[in-house]
Amino acid sequence: MGRVIYLDHASTTPVDPEVLEIMRPWFTEEFGNPSTVYSLGLASAQAVQQARESIAETIGAEPEEICFTSGGTEADNWALLGTADACQKKGRHLITSAIEHHAVLETVEHLEKRGYEVTRLPVDGGGLVDPDEVRRAIRPDTILVSIMHANNEIGTIEPIAEIGKVTREAGVPFHTDAVQSAGKLPLDVNELGVDMLSMSAHKFYGPKGIGLMYLRKRTRITPLLHGGGQEKGFRAGTHNVPGIVGMAKALELATNRMADDAVREAALRDRLWDGLSANIDAIHLNGDMVSRLPGNLNLRVDGIEGESMILMLDMDGICVSSGSACTTGSLEPSHVLLALGIPQEHAHGSLRITLGRSTTAEDIDLFIKVFPPIVTRLREMSPIWCANCVCKQRN
């Protein structure tokens, strides 16, 4: 098999070689448990502490406010379930958006089954939440607002700092899922005005299975995992030392090259869109084009299914995704695209292309070359595409 052209960086990224190198000794010679008192364990504890300090500094937090988790899903679950549990005497109402990751949406559904009430705020046609809508949705019994920083499907960057002002004024805790923005956008927990923030290393060239939650001091929350009292009792379980060390390094590297990567990826992304839109009829962009992650392109091609485009591109060695990886394989259209107001029948024909460090101009040009004939072939076979009638006229 030839070289794979990987254009699915929102789904996961390869571990940076420098990150892998720094992790290696913590699997082998330096395998001590950081909760022990002899020097082998102490070395691990120091490595964890150093990582904690480095990450805290990057996001404007105190080291004690960083809690390591198994990833973004755990951090999201914990923020919602832990707050719901700790604050149930104050109220049972939570506010989130219609376009959150499943790690948030499935968790609030679980809470609804247990008697909590959830407001899912709508978004505009570009995928943006209106901070005024947050203000209007807050009630005396609201215990948490959870709005993602950047969306994993359409890359929309939400006005978190403005929403943070609203929640601060109302005295309601605020959580943001920053899994897609960490390592891609500058993050400062005080500028954003958040009390909790989720991150996951494998989205920024770190290892899978490690993430964190920023937990502002005095935030009311109960632990999700009980046991050995690690992380000041907030999150039990032996520390994933290689993962923690690797995540800190990955965040440091991503932060250092953030500005350059953003410029390069946005230019390639725009070149891709220009090339595709010039060569394909009835192709549309999903999501706001201004407030958007640099490497994200989400498009919709009338008359064909996202899944069939993915399979055809895979035969050319190109990896892309439709919606989020979690919904791939299901026939449900993406909840994010539906929330943008895209009709069900069009939401099926969407493709998410996410660029990253390995993406070259040659990759983009190859995509521009192979994709239009794929669209033509699929449309020829499509029962819902007729070149000269409804679909085309509807544009």
Ligand X SMILES: *Cc1c(COP(=O)(O)O)cnc(C)c1O
* Residues taking part in catalysis: 326
Can you tell me the distance from the alpha carbon of 313 to that of 151, in angstroms, rounded to the nearest whole number?
A: 24
Can you tell me the distance from the alpha carbon of 295 to that of 7, in angstroms, rounded to the nearest whole number?
A: 9
| Type of residue found at 261 | D
- Residue from the set 22, 148, 254, 293 that interacts with ligand X by CB under 6 A: 148
- Residue from the set 129, 179, 244, 299 that interacts with ligand X by CB under 6 A: 179
Minimum CB separation of residue 76 from ligand X in Å reads: 6
Contact positions with ligand X (CB under 6 A) in 75-94: 76
Coil, helix or strand for 259?
A: helix
- Residue from the set 77, 96, 142, 200 that interacts with ligand X by CB under 6 A: 200
Minimum CB separation of residue 79 from ligand X in Å reads: 11
Can you tell me the distance from the alpha carbon of 183 to that of 202, in angstroms, rounded to the nearest whole number?
A: 11
Residues 6+ apart with CB under 8 A from 257: none
Minimum CB separation of residue 93 from ligand X in Å reads: 23
Contact positions with ligand X (CB under 6 A) in 209-228: 211
- Residue from the set 19, 103, 250, 375 that interacts with ligand X by CB under 6 A: 103
- Residue from the set 58, 73, 96, 219 that interacts with ligand X by CB under 6 A: 73
Q: Which stretch binds ligand X (CB under 6 A): 91-99, 161-169, 174-182, 313-321?
A: 174-182
Minimum CB separation of residue 243 from ligand X in Å reads: 11
Q: Which two tokens stand for residue 302?
A: 């009338």
Can you tell me the distance from the alpha carbon of 177 to that of 69, in angstroms, rounded to the nearest whole number?
A: 14
Q: What is the DSSP letter of 321?
A: B
- Residue from the set 13, 56, 61, 71 that interacts with ligand X by CB under 6 A: 71
Q: Which residue is nearest to ligand X (CB)?
A: 72
Residues 6+ apart with CB under 8 A from 128: 156, 158, 159, 288, 291
Cβ–Cβ contacts within 10 Å for residue 4, how many?
Answer: 11
Q: Which stretch binds ligand X (CB under 6 A): 80-88, 160-168, 173-181, 306-314?
A: 173-181
Residues 6+ apart with CB under 8 A from 315: none
- Residue from the set 34, 72, 207, 303 that interacts with ligand X by CB under 6 A: 72
Contact positions with ligand X (CB under 6 A) in 255-274: none
* CA torsion, ordered 53, 207, 231, 84, to nearest 10 deg: 110
The reply on whether position 323 binds ligand X by CB under 6 A is no
Tokens 């990886």 belong to residue: 325
Q: Which stretch binds ligand X (CB under 6 A): 33-41, 172-180, 242-250, 352-360?
A: 172-180
Can you tell me the distance from the alpha carbon of 64 to that of 68, in angstroms, rounded to the nearest whole number?
A: 11
Q: Which is nearer to ligand X, 210 or 368 (CB)?
A: 210
Residues in contact with ligand X by the rule CB under 6 A: 71-73, 76, 101, 103, 148, 152, 177, 179-180, 200, 203, 211
